[in-house]
Structure 1
Amino acid sequence: MAVRNVHERLPSARSDQAGSIRIVIRAATPADLDAVADLHSRTRTSYYRGRLPDALLDDPAERARCHAAWEHALARPDGGVLCAVRDGAVAAVASFRTPRGAARTAAAPARAAATVPRDVTLHQFHVDPEHWRSGIGSGLHDACVTAWQTASRSTAHLEVFWHNQRARAFYARHGWQPDAAHRPAPDDTHLRLTLAVPLACGNALSAAPVVPSVEETPAHRAN
């Protein structure tokens, strides 16, 4: 999916620092791989610590699997990876993709009208814990929605860790609802959510900047 770069200025979170901090939301590249994988590992630890064994969270093999998964995500033709860069450092990342077969659809425009997928799945969405409550998460979420609108997606799906109340509250503020078609079982560890992607308002959306809120933004796993 084509993604435009978004430049934002957010108020500084430090009371002793005047001015603003420059945020750029853009498509991630292979050069971001190490930073993205490290961010994922740190945020994953922040919400699973105490619920999964420390040995698993701190296992180098688990970190290697995380690195390999992001390498694969960056190379996929049927999805997108966006990152929010704060003063040159990756502060948040999101990964989403369309159903299987979407890449083949793009290569066959004659059948596109009949087979173009309408759904998209948000597989990963993480904000560095140091930047919660900064608006970075909201800005990145808005950029994801803009990408889905551009690609004519109508419904987004995700799974969020049941005990991650911060993430669940974040999603609720951004319009996500429990998936009525997949009600959780008593022993489920994740909750399925859906979002009705709002329609773009003509050409005004693509020209308008994404303006993030300054509310709390979570780090969470959506896979």
Structure 2
Amino acid sequence: MIRLAIADDLDAIAALHREARATYYRDRLPEDEYDGAEELARSRAAWGSAVAEGRVLCAVRDGVIAGVAASGVRDGVMQLSQLHVAPALWRRGVGSELHRACVDAWREGGVTDVRLDVYEHNTRAQAFYAARGWEPDPDVPRGSTHLVLRLTLAPSAE
């Protein structure tokens, strides 16, 4: 089941985000940069704001949050800012279901162009996005540690 996140979900969202990030940042970045107290507080505050603004979708399995996705407009362009699945549930369709829900919501809102940043060493995520039509964005230069991908959506057929 996919649903909008609520304030009561914040602890579970923050824990899932922390666990997922550790899988691709571990041994690549200093631990404080992704798992230090300051970073965890910043991350929790950002998730809290996104939840309060209604920009977070949760995938729920057996009553537990199994994945989260957040999107919103930045600099005039829709951004998929986060999409994380609990590592124990990878390759079980949770990410695909979340992605479909995001695409459906974007189309319903008339969005035809979406961007995201993906960590250069997170090849699993890069393959996930490529399989769903995301391509390197020729209009945005690559960041120092992240690739910028773009998804172009056909307008909703009504």
| TM-score under structure 2 length normalisation | 0.93
Q: Aligned partners of 2:155 and 2:15: how far apart in 1? A: 35
Does residue 97 (structure 1) correspond to residue 72 (structure 2)? The answer is: yes
**Cα distance change, pair 49–153 in 1 and its aligned pair in 2 (3 A):** same
Bigger Rg, structure 1 or 2: 1
Q: Aligned partners of 2:32 and 2:39: how far apart in 1? A: 10
Kindly provide the CA deviation profile for residues 107-146 of structure 1, in whole angstroms up to 9, marking residues without a partner as x. Answer: xxxxxxxxxx6x4111111011001110110010000000
Q: Aligned partners of 1:196 and 1:151: how far apart in 2? A: 14
Kindly provide the CA deviation profile for residues 6-35 of structure 1, in whole angstroms up to 9, marking residues without a partner as x. Answer: xxxxxxxxxxxxxxxxxx101111111111
Kindly provide the CA deviation profile for residues 76-128 of structure 1, in whole angstroms up to 9, marking residues without a partner as x. Answer: 3xx6210100110001000000246xxxxxxxxxxxxxxxx6x4111111011
AA partner of residue 153 (structure 2) = V
Report the CA distance between 1:55 and its aligned residue.
4.0
Q: Aligned partners of 2:112 and 2:35: how far apart in 1? A: 38
Q: Which runs of 5+ in 2 are unaligned?
A: none
Report how many residues are paired.
158
Q: Which residue of 2 aligns with 1:195?
A: 151
Q: 1:75-114 maps to which residues of 2 (within 5 A)? A: 75-76=52-53, 80-99=55-74
Q: Which residue of 1 aligns with 2:137?
A: 179
Q: Which structure's relative contact order is higher, taking Cα pairs within 8 Å and 6+ residues apart? A: 1
**Percent identity over paired residues:** 47
| TM-score under structure 1 length normalisation | 0.67
Report the CA distance between 1:71 and its aligned residue.
0.6
Q: Which runs of 5+ in 1 are unaligned?
A: 1-23, 101-116, 203-223
Answer yes or no: is the 8 Å Cα contact 2:110–2:156 preserved in 1: no
Report the CA distance between 1:62 and its aligned residue.
1.9
Q: Which residue of 2 aligns with 1:138?
A: 96
Does residue 27 (structure 1) correspond to residue 41 (structure 2)? The answer is: no
Report the CA distance between 1:54 and its aligned residue.
2.6
Richer in helix (by share): 2
What is the root-mean-square deviation of aligned Cα atoms in Å?
1.6
